Chain A
Amino acid sequence: MVVWSQIVLAGIWGGVLAVERRAFLQAMFSRPLVAATGMGLILHDLPSGLFIGMVLELFHLGSANLGAALPENETLAATGTTAAAVALASHTGGSTPAYWSMAILLFAGLGPAGRIVDHSLEAYCGRLAAKAMASAEHGELARAVRQNVWGMWPHFVVFGAATALCALFGFALAPVAASLPLRALRGLAWSYPAIASVAAAIAVRGSHARRAALYAGVAAAAVVCAVALAPWLSRVTLLGSPRP
């Protein structure tokens, strides 16, 4: 059953973060780890938000807005994927790595899609700038500088609506996800650590460190040694039972 209040909340959170990412503050509330965890908290499925956010944070670690070049929209990817993952699990009553994988694989394209939307919104801001120039020419200075504030609302509306649509899509797919055979769910559950490994490898590349592979390799070896010496460390699992 579609929970409309969740769709609205997802849309509002997605819209607010889109404004924070591009137009106001840039205090990193819009980074996947924070954005997805927040979405999970709002939609009462914290594990989904946390583990999707963690993977997407790594996947988009190296993306940066350098000069006029637009990066992929990691915020839309995080909020949209989490909203969809929560909705996908609505028929089974709880999220699992299988649903996280399914959502990540289905909605991974939101990052590049968000960049296209970002690009088109720049054209709108270009019109605002032209309007500001015209107002300044006519001596209406307060009106001219105020145009700056009008650049924010399209981000809120467009990305809010996109996030809400992802949640709606998740609810639409929930019956299909619930009817998947156990074998398929097991396969999807195995995909999650594989996706996390790929994301971590991409993060190592995205760190831009000079000896990135060496640092990552040493740290990975240290973790393996620590677990070998103190096996109780790995008994604390990500979830009580991550198997589907």
Chain B
Amino acid sequence: MRTTALEASSLEPSRDATSLSKGVLLRVFLRSLLLQASWNPQGMQNLGLAYALFPALKQLYRDHRDLEEAVRRHLAFFNTHPYVAAAILGGVIFHEQRIARGEEGPQRVQAFKSALMGPLAALGDGFFWLSLKPAVGAFCAALVPVFQILTGQASQGAWAAVVFLVLYNLVHFTFRWRMYRMGLALGDRLVEEVAKANLPKRGARLRAVAAASAGALAAWLAIVFGRNEQAAWAPLLTGGCLAMGAASYWLVARRISRYAVLYLAAGLAAVAGAFL
């Protein structure tokens, strides 16, 4: 992502009535964290968007009728990925400043939102929900035994949860803030910049990390629990768990309910544990 264009962004101190102060821009960003507070089936994130934009609109439109019109156009249907929405929010402010200066009509900001919310939602869903979240989740779950080995204490595995939050949010908040600034600086041109981030390719790598971490953890748990049993039963428990994992993968791939598989496996293991 290029930074040179961002240096000229609207985060500069306000120079005229249609430029927004740093404080207002920061308030909009912070309020955007509540984008989904009133997610509803009709307008989806419409209330959240209007709520986030309100401080900026209030500063841009001194006339109450203009302000009313601006708020109403952002109470229309809106839905996208909550993180990527930061880019659209920045872009909306970019356009609203131009509208307030009389450089373009209000239909431009509507078209901007409509054109971007779908594609950016797909990008955000694919990268954050379907790649980063599973990858960090599985990797950090696999870190639980690693912390225990390193420290020799069971409770130290809790650091895995801390690492989860740090790793995920480092990417999350950096992305969210940069997207917001990019929208503010570039308006419609932000699409080209987002494309340069190459999120789909990075997502594919992260998904591989998730799969490998889950496999490693399954093997580890099977071995450790086998060792906790009496020597005679250890190989049975370890081997049984590994076989059960492979069978579960096969069953879930054939669209058997994962709850049915869970109860079946637990039932079999319980019977084996009770009667062997």
Contact = CB atoms under 8 A, between A and B. Distances in A.
A5 interface: no
Contacts of A26: 36, 82-83
A219 B38 contact: no
Interface stretch (B19-27, B67-75, B104-112): B67-75
B253 to A, nearest CB: 6
B218 A201 contact: yes
B141 interface: yes
Given A31-B137, A235-B227, A200 B79 contact: no
Given A61-B134, A243-B228, A47 B155 contact: yes
Contacts of B72: 136
Contact of A64 (B71, B125, B208): B125
B114 to A, nearest CB: 16
A114 B34 CA distance: 21
Describe B's contact surface by its main secondary structure.
Answer: helix
A238 B155 CA distance: 9
B257 to A, nearest CB: 11
Interface string A139-166: 1011011111111100000000000000
Contacts of B195: none
Interface string B86-99: 00000000000000
A132 interface: yes
Interface residues of B, number: 107
Contacts of B38: 23, 125, 128-129, 147-151
B37 interface: yes
Contacts of A203: 134, 138, 141, 210, 214
Given A105-B262, A236-B145, 16 more contacts: A50-B154, A65-B129, A108-B263, A125-B39, A125-B40, A148-B51, A187-B271, A196-B217, A196-B241, A197-B222, A197-B265, A201-B261, A204-B215, A216-B249, A222-B216, A223-B220
Interface of A: 22-29, 31, 33-34, 37-38, 40-41, 46-47, 49-51, 53-54, 57-59, 61-62, 64-68, 97, 101, 105, 108-109, 122-123, 125-126, 128-130, 132-133, 136, 139, 141-142, 144-152, 183-184, 186-213, 215-224, 227, 233-243
5 contacts: A23-B39, A62-B134, A186-B273, A204-B215, A216-B216
